[in-house]
Every structure is written in C-alpha cells, then in structure tokens.
Amino acid sequence: MTAESSRITARGGVRADARRNRERVLVAARAVFAEHGIDAPMATVARRAGVGVATLYRHFPTRDALVRGAFAQQTETCVRALAEALAVPDPWQGFQHLVETVCALQREERGFPAAFLAAFPESTSEHARSRQRAERDFTTLVRRAQASGALRADFHPSDLAVVLLAHCALVTALPDDGAASRRLVAYLLQSFRAGTANEPLPPPTALTLRSLPIAAGNPRRQ
C-alpha cells in the first residue's frame, strides 16, 4: 500500500510543482537553444527556467535527454508529415510537402535542426525502430513519385539527408527571416523535379559575401 499511496500522490504519480518545473525547463531549453545553439551551458537553461541546476539534472540527466525532450514535439511533427505526405494523392505534391514541411520546421525552431540531425545516437530500441520505419516510408514516397514521372529517376533517398544537412547549416547560421532557407529549398526542389524548366523563386536574401555568419567549426563530438 505504500507504493500505492505514493503513486497516487498526484496526476501520474508526480507532484504538481515537479511537473510544472519540468515544463518550465523545456520552454527555457527551447528558447536558449534557439538563441545560443545546442551547446549552451546547462546553467543558462536552468537560470532562464528559474530553477536550480540540480532540478534540471534531475529531470534530464544528460544534455541529450534535455535536447530530446525539448524537441520531442517537433520530431513528432516530422513523423506526422511523412504520414501526411504518403496520404496525398499526387505523388509529387506529397514529396514536395514532406521536404517543405521538414525544412519549415528546421527554419522555425532554431536549434531543432541540430537536434534533429543528432540522430538519437544510441537511443531506445523504440526510437531506432521508428527511425527505421521513417526511412522505409520515405523510400516508398520516393519510389511512388518516381513512378509517376514527376521526380527524377536518379534521385536517391539519401539525398534527403544531404538536403537536410545543408539546410540545417543555413538556418543555424543565419539569424535570418528564412529567405535564404526558402530560396535553397526552392532551388533544390526544382532540381529534383524531372526535366522541367525553371519556375519562379522566392526573393533572394540580403546576404553579401563579406557577410556576418560565422560558422563555428564543428568538432566531432566524441
């Protein structure tokens, strides 16, 4: 009965203030990651959330856990987008929808791209499974679009990774309104489309060659 009583203390067995703090930490984490990148000090997140460091560590033992928690919702959206894409009748539109949705997500939630690409290194078997499944579904989407003749035959599913990786850099490096991102995506989608002429593009960016973005080197995390 001891277990019983303690488990019922509150909604889901977690004390109300604990649950509230967890939420505050997640909000703060998203804000801080967006502002300072995914490597921002844990203490910064804690301060922003108005909690102590220990509290943060109790809820999320590792930085990875925090990152995963912070962007769980966005990851969910990606999975949903894939399902939606497969549901769209026109194969090309489905493909386009997927690419644009994921890129838009990367664009809107700064910090998410890196989190997304961090790729759940070890992760639970559940994550591995869902990821594997996403890959299979995407391949299906590609084959379907190619069969319809709208997607060029030599497009390879791995090209999606190339696109996302490249696009990631853009949105991470630019404090931008997203013009650069939209432009890159438009260029690429036009290349992906089987043998078409050029279509209109979104407006160009205000970048100059002597522009600001300092792309910090990327030490291999080991």
Partner DNA sequence: CTCCGAACGGACGATTGCGTCCACCTGAGA
Partner DNA sequence: TCTCAGGTGGACGCAATCGTCCGTTCGGAG
From the list 16-24, 52-60, 93-101, 116-124, the region that binds a copy of itself by CB under 8 A is: 116-124
Residues of the shown chain interacting with DNA in the complex, contacts defined by CB under 7 A:
5-6, 8-10, 14-18, 20-21, 39, 41-43, 50-55, 57-59, 61-63
State in angstroms the smallest separation of the CB of 222 from a copy of itself. 9
Binding residue for a copy of itself, selected from 50, 117, 143, 177, defined by CB under 8 A: 117
Cβ nearer to DNA, comparing 18 with 164: 18
Are 147 and 91 in contact, with CB atoms under 8 Å apart?
A: yes
Q: x/- site string to a copy of itself, residues 182 to 201, per CB under 8 A? A: -xx--xx-xxx-xxxxx-xx
The answer to the question of residue 173 lying near a copy of itself (CB under 8 A) is yes
Q: Which residues of 20-43 are buried (b: 16+ CB within 10 A; e: fewer)?
A: ebbebbbebbbbbbbeeebebebe
Nearer to DNA, 62 or 211 (CB): 62
- Distance from C-alpha of 211 to C-alpha of 213, rounded to nearest angstrom: 6
Cα distances (angstroms) measured from residue 216 to each of 1, 36, 173: 56, 12, 9
Looking at residue 201, the DSSP 8-state letter turns out to be: -
